[in-house]
Amino acid sequence: MLRYLAKRAATYAFMIFLTTTAGYFLAVNTLKPALLEQERIPRPTPEQVANSFRLKGLDPELSPWERYVEWLTAIVTRWDWGRSPNGAFINAEFGDRVWISTRLFLASIILTLIIGVALGVYTAARQYKASDRVITSYSYLVYIVPAPIAYFLVQLGAININETVGERIFFVTGISTPGLEGDGWAQFVDMLAHYAVPTFAITIVGWGAYQIAQRQYLLDNVNADFVRTARAKGLTRNQAISRHALRVSFIPVAQSIAFTIPAIFAGGFFAEKIFAWHGVGSWSIDAIALQDVNAATATLAYGSVIFAIGAILADFATTLVDPRVRVQ
């Protein structure tokens, strides 16, 4: 098992290296921070700009290859992912961003998984009844709504509630009220007010896919031969399904869940953008807008690492829940 994981990890490390390298060259060739500097007032001279960038290790006069070698050497020797055009250190920024993304997504992904899987089981047990039709149609509807628009509509709804009530119940952007004074309770209420809308939005858009998957896998199994065997033993239909079919149908779902978990730390572009939480996702978009080569590449590398961890976790989850692929 360990040998296998090591082999997979090595393959993925190589892939990550390739994608990151490709991303770096794409970024270094298209992102030109010097252009933005010229919009400053007073406009700096090209020499000033070049000098300032050289100090930050972003010398625009070097060839892409030279910059790549320099950048890679810094990472390999000092684990230094470089600096942004505004002078900030990527390494320092990273921790904060990941922490914000985690806070935004942790609750909603857990809710998404629980609601999605639970509703999947519920609808499978009530196949073709009204509740199943309503829930499943909703999940299919979510498929044809782009996520950012759904988030926006939820945001709109929250604003409407605020307006109707005439009081600011929900905050639709940001993590917390800056400079809020007060005791623990006030802080807690403020946190709830900020978390409620994004968590709700991400959850209601997210669970559809899990509901459909879990429902389908369970339906594939409710009439399986082994469920019939369990019933022939003297288990009621519901007992047989919950003890036997559910466990088997959960195998592929567990795999996709394992895949999703690391994504919590990577955040999401759309949600972070729309709810103005400055996590990893929105950082990557901002980095591009600010022509920030190092930040863009770092987020890309981070995304690849998260994907690789997810893939390995998925393998791991399969071996955990399915004895057939367990290695003796």
Partner 1 sequence: MTNLNTVDPATVAEAKLETNDVVIAKSSIILRRFLRNKTAVVGLVIFLALTVFSFVGGFFTSWDKETIDPFNIGMPPSAEHLLGTSQAGIDLYALTVEGTRISILIGLVVGLVSVLIAAVYGCTMAYFGGKVDKVMLFILEALIMMPALLVVAVATSGGGNGLQETLPSWLLLIIVLLVFSWMGTARLIRSLSMSLMSRDFVKAAQYMGIPPRRIVWRHLVPNIGSLLVLDITRGVTGAILAEVAFSFIGIGIKVPDVSLGVLIGQATSQVSTFPWMFWVPLAVMFLLTGSLAMMNDGLRDAFDPNSSSVGSARKSGTKTGRTRKTQEKAV
Partner 2 sequence: MSQEMTASAASAGLPATDLSPAERLHVAGLHTAGRHYTDAATDAVLSVRDLNVRFNTENGVVHAVRGIDFDLRAGKTLGIVGESGSGKSVTSMAILGLLPPTAEISGSVLLQGKELLGLNDKAMCQHRGNDIAMVFQDPLSSLTPVYTVGTQIIEALTVHNPTMSKQAKEARAVELLGMVGIPSPKDRLKAFPHEFSGGMRQRVMIAIAIANNPRVLIADEPTTALDVTIQAQVLEVLHTAQEETGAAVVMITHDLGVVAGMADDIMVMYAGKPVETGSVDDIYYNPRMPYTMGLLGAVPRVDVAEKSSLVPIEGIPPNLIHTPTGCSFAPRCPLASDACLQGEPELWPVPGGAPGGTTVGTTGGGLPHQAACIKTDSLGLEVDVREVFKAPAVPESRFDAIPRAERRTVLELRDVRKHFPLMKGALIKRRIGTVKAVDGLSFDIREGECFSIVGESGCGKTTTLLEIMEFHKDQDGEVVIGGLSNKQAADAKTKGAMRKELQMVFQDPTGALDPRFTVFEVLSEPLENAGMFKAQIRQRILELMELVGLQPDHVNRFPNQFSGGQRQRIGIARALAVNPKLVVLDEPVSALDVSVQAGVINLLDQLRAELGLSYLMVAHDLSVVRHISNRVAVMYLGKIVEIGDVDSVFDNPRHPYTRALLSAIPVPDPVQERTRERIILQGDLPSPLEAPKGCNFATRCPVFAALPPAKQEKCLTLEPELAAAPAPTDQQFACFYPDGELDEDMLVVHDTH
Residues lying near partner 2 in the complex (CB under 8 A) are found at: 1, 3-4, 7, 224-226, 228-237, 243-244, 247-248, 251, 315, 319, 321-328
In the 3-class helix/strand/coil scheme, how is the chain assigned residue by residue? CHHHHHHHHHHHHHHHHHHHHHHHHHHHHHCCHHHHHCCCCCCCCHHHHHHHHHHCCCCCCCCHHHHHHHHHHHHHHHCCCCECCCCCEHHHHHHHHHHHHHHHHHHHHHHHHHHHHHHHHHHHHCCCCHHHHHHHHHHHHHHCCCHHHHHHHHHHHHHHHHHHHCCCCCCCCCCCCCCCCCCHHHHHHHHHHHHHHHHHHHHHHHHHHHHHHHHHHHHHHHCCHHHHHHHHHCCCHHHHHHHHHHHHHHHHHHHHHHHHCCHHHHCCHHHHHHCCCCCHHHHHHHHHHCCCHHHHHHHHHHHHHHHHHHHHHHHHHHHHHCHHHCCC
Taking the complex as a whole, how short is the minimal distance between the CB of residue 275 and partner 1, in angstroms? Answer: 12
Q: Is 299 in the site for partner 1 (CB under 8 A)?
A: yes
Nearer to partner 1 (CB atom), residue 35 or residue 189: 35
Distance CA 184, CA 107 (A): 20
Q: In this structure, what are the phi and psi dihedrals at residue 281, rounded to the nearest 5 degrees?
A: -60, -50
Nearer to partner 1 (CB atom), residue 57 or residue 148: 148
Q: What number of chain residues touch partner 1 (CB under 8 A)?
A: 41
Residue 321's binding partner among partner 1, partner 2, none (Cβ under 5 to 8 angstroms by kind) is: partner 2
Residue 11's binding partner among partner 2, partner 1, none (Cβ under 5 to 8 angstroms by kind) is: partner 1
Residue 39's binding partner among partner 1, partner 2, none (Cβ under 5 to 8 angstroms by kind) is: none
Residue 170's binding partner among partner 1, partner 2, none (Cβ under 5 to 8 angstroms by kind) is: none
Nearer to partner 2 (CB atom), residue 34 or residue 235: 235
Q: Is 276 in the site for partner 1 (CB under 8 A)?
A: no
Taking the complex as a whole, how short is the minimal distance between the CB of residue 7 and partner 2, in angstroms? Answer: 8
Nearer to partner 2 (CB atom), residue 2 or residue 41: 2
Taking the complex as a whole, how short is the minimal distance between the CB of residue 283 and partner 2, in angstroms? Answer: 36
Taking the complex as a whole, how short is the minimal distance between the CB of residue 215 and partner 2, in angstroms? Answer: 18
Q: Is 219 in the site for partner 1 (CB under 8 A)?
A: no
Interacting residues toward partner 1 by CB under 8 A? 11, 15-16, 18-19, 22-23, 26-27, 29-32, 35-36, 140, 143-149, 152, 156, 269-270, 273-274, 284-285, 288-289, 291, 296, 299-300, 303-304, 307-308
